[in-house]
Structure 1
Amino acid sequence: MKHILIAGDHAAIDLKAAIVTQLKADGFTIEDFGPFTTESVDYPDFANKVCEKIKPDDTSNEPDTFGILVCGSGQGMAMRANKFKHIRAALLHSDEIAKLAKEHNNANVICMGSRFTTAEQANKWIKLFMEAKFSEGRHTLRVAKISENPSYC
Structure 2
Amino acid sequence: METIYSDLTQLGGKTELPTSPEAAELERVQNPQADIDYCVRFTAPEFTSLCPMTGQPDFAHLVIDYVPDDWLVESKSLKLFLGSFRNHGAFHEDCTVSIARRLVEFLSPRWLRIGGYWYPRGGIPIDVFWQTGATPEQVWIPDQGVPPYRGRG
TM-score where L is the length of structure 2: 0.30
* TM-score, normalised by the number of residues in structure 1: 0.30
The structure with the greater share of residues assigned to strand is 2
Q: Which has the higher helix share?
A: 1
